[in-house]
C-alpha cells in the first residue's frame, strides 16, 4: 500500500472508532511502529488527528463514538471541511480575537489549525465544540452559553442560549448551515439552533458563512441569512462555475479553499 493510501486508510479507521494505538495500527497495516508514528505525525500536522501517549485521537468530531449519526456528520466531506477550516484559520483569525462559533462540523474544522494563535476567546453553544476547544486551545478563554441541550446536535438552544449573546460581543461569528441558494440564502433544518445562530450574528461585528460545496444550490426549511445579508462565504474547490458566478453576481465576497492531499 502506498504511503498516502495507508494514511487515508488510517484516517478512515480512526474516524470510525475515535482513537487507536500505534501497536494496533502497526499490526493492522503490517508496517513498523516507526512508520505508523511518521504517518500519525503527518496526519496531526494536517489537523486530522491529535497524537496521544501510544496512539492517536481522531479530531473530526468530539463525542463521535456516541451514535452513527454523529460519525456520519463528522466524516462526510471531511476533506472539504478541513480545507475550509485551514483556510479560515489562516485568513480570518488573528491573535487576540474574540470568536463566536456555531454548532456545525464545518465551523469546528477550524480549531485544529488555531494552535499557533495566542489570546483567543471563543464562545459557542455546542458541547462538542467546547470539548474540541479544550483539546486544541487549552490556554484560550472558552465560554459556553448554557440552555437546553439538544440531543441531536448536542448543542445548547432555547432562550438562555440566545440571551447569552446579548451580553457578549465578538469580532467575527463563524456560521454554517445545511444549504445555500441564491433564492433562499443560508438555511438549516433545526429551528431552535437557527435562532441561536441569528443571536450570534446580531452580536458580532461581522459574520462569515462556511459551507462545503455539496450544500450549495440546495434549500432547507429555516432561513439563517438572506442572500443579501451574507457578506463573506468560504467554500471548497467543488463549487460549480455556475454557482461561483451566481454568488459573485450577488455581491458576496467568495473565498475558495484549496484541497490538499495527505502527504
Q: Identify the CATH number of the domain in which residue 169 sits.
A: 3.40.50.1360
83 lies in some domain? yes
- In terms of domains, do 203 and 154 share one? yes
With a cut of 70, say whether residue 75 has pLDDT above it: no
* Strand 55-58 to 121-124 pairing: unpaired
Which of 111, 101, 183, 185 is closest to 145 using CA atoms?
101
Look up residue 153 and give its three cell numbers.
Answer: 446536535
Q: How far apart are CA 116 and CA 10, in angstroms?
A: 26
> In the prediction, which pLDDT does 263 show?
56
Task: List CB contacts of 177: < 8 A, sequence separation 6 or more.
Answer: 104, 186, 187, 188, 197, 209, 211, 215, 220, 224
pLDDT higher than threshold 50 for residue 35? yes
Would you say the pTM of this structure is higher than 0.85? no
* Residue 178 and residue 86 share a domain: yes
Question: And the C-alpha cell for 51?
Answer: 497524537
Residue 246, domain member (yes or no): yes
- Report d(CA 211, CA 176) in Å as an integer: 6
At residue 65, φ and ψ (nearest 5 deg) are: -80, -5
Sheet of strand 179-181, all strands in order from the earlier edge strand to the far edge: 179-181, 185-188, 222-225
DSSP state of 125: S
Is there a single domain that holds both residue 173 and residue 80? yes
CATH (domain of 15): 1.10.10.10
Same domain, residue pair 38 and 163: no
Residue where a domain stops, chosen among 34, 58, 82: 58
| 235 and 144 within one domain | yes
Examine the domain organization and report whether 16 and 89 are in the same domain: no
pLDDT tier at 256 (50, 70, 90 boundaries)?
A: very high
pLDDT of residue 79: 83
Final residue of a domain: which of 17, 35, 58?
A: 58
- Return the sign of the alpha-carbon dihedral for residues 205, 120, 153, 260: positive
Confidence of residue 238 (pLDDT cuts 50, 70, 90): very high
Q: How far apart are CA 29 and CA 255, in angstroms?
A: 38
pLDDT reading at 70 higher than 50: no
Q: Residue 198 domain-assigned?
A: yes
Same domain, 161 and 243: yes
The last residue of a domain, from among 58, 78, 99: 58
Same domain (yes/no): 49, 75: no
Residue 64 lies in a domain: no
What per-residue confidence (pLDDT) applies to 176? Answer: 97
Residues 19, 130: one domain?
no
| Domain assignment present for 80 | yes
In sequence order, the β-bridge partners of residue 49 are: 58
> Under a CB-based contact definition with an 8 Å cutoff, are residues 145 and 125 in contact?
yes
Q: What are phi and psi of 100, to 5 degrees?
A: -105, 135
Per-residue confidence band for 251, with pLDDT thresholds at 50, 70 and 90: very high
Question: Which residues form the domain of 33?
Answer: 3-58
Whether 92 contacts 208, CB under 8 Å: yes
Domain shared by 116 and 221, yes or no: yes
**Cα dist. 203→75, 153, 156, 174 in Å?**
31, 23, 17, 12
Supply the DSSP symbol for 219: -
Domain check: are 223 and 124 in the same one?
Answer: yes
Question: Number of folded domains in the chain?
Answer: 2
Note whether residue 63 is domain-resident. no
User: Per the domain annotation, does 92 fall within a domain?
Assistant: yes
Q: Residue 119 phi/psi, 5° resolution? A: 60, 40
What does the block give as the cell for 57? Answer: 485521537
Amino acid at each position: 500500500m502506498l504511503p498516502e493510501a495507508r494514511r487515508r486508510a488510517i484516517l478512515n479507521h480512526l474516524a470510525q472508532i475515535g482513537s487507536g494505538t500505534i501497536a494496533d495500527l502497526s499490526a493492522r497495516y503490517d508496517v513498523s511502529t516507526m512508520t505508523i508514528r511518521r504517518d500519525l505525525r503527518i496526519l496531526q500536522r494536517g489537523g486530522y488527528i491529535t497524537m496521544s501517549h501510544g496512539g492517536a485521537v481522531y479530531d473530526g468530531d468530539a463525542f463521535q463514538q456516541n451514535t452513527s449519526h454523529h460519525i456520519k456528520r463528522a466524516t462526510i466531506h471531511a476533506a472539504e471541511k478541513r480545507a475550509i477550516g485551514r483556510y479560515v484559520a489562516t485568513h480570518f483569525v488573528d491573535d487576540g480575537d474574540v470568536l463566536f462559533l456555531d454548532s456545525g462540523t464545518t465551523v469546528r474544522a477550524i480549531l485544529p489549525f488555531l494552535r499557533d494563535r495566542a489570546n483567543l476567546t471563543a464562545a459557542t453553544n455546542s458541547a462538542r465544540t467546547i470539548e474540541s476547544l479544550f483539546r486544541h486551545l487549552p490556554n484560550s478563554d472558552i465560554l459556553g452559553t448554557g440552555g437546553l441541550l439538544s440531543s441531536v446536535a448536542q448543542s445548547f438552544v432555547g432562550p438562555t442560549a440566545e440571551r447569552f449573546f446579548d451580553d457578549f460581543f465578538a469580532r467575527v461569528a463563524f456560521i454554517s448551515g445545511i444549504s445555500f441558494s441564491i433564492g433562499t440564502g443560508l438555511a438549516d433544518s433545526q429551528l431552535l439552533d437557527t435562532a441561536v445562530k441569528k443571536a450570534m450574528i446580531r452580536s458580532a461585528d461581522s459574520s462569515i458563512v462556511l459551507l462545503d460545496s455539496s450544500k450549495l444550490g440546495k434549500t432547507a426549511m429555516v432561513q439563517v441569512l438572506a442572500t443579501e445579508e451574507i457578506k463573506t462565504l468560504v467554500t471548497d474547490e467543488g463549487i460549480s462555475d455556475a454557482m461561483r458566478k451566481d454568488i459573485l453576481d450577488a455581491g458576496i465576497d467568495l473565498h475558495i479553499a484549496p484541497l490538499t492531499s495527505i502527504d
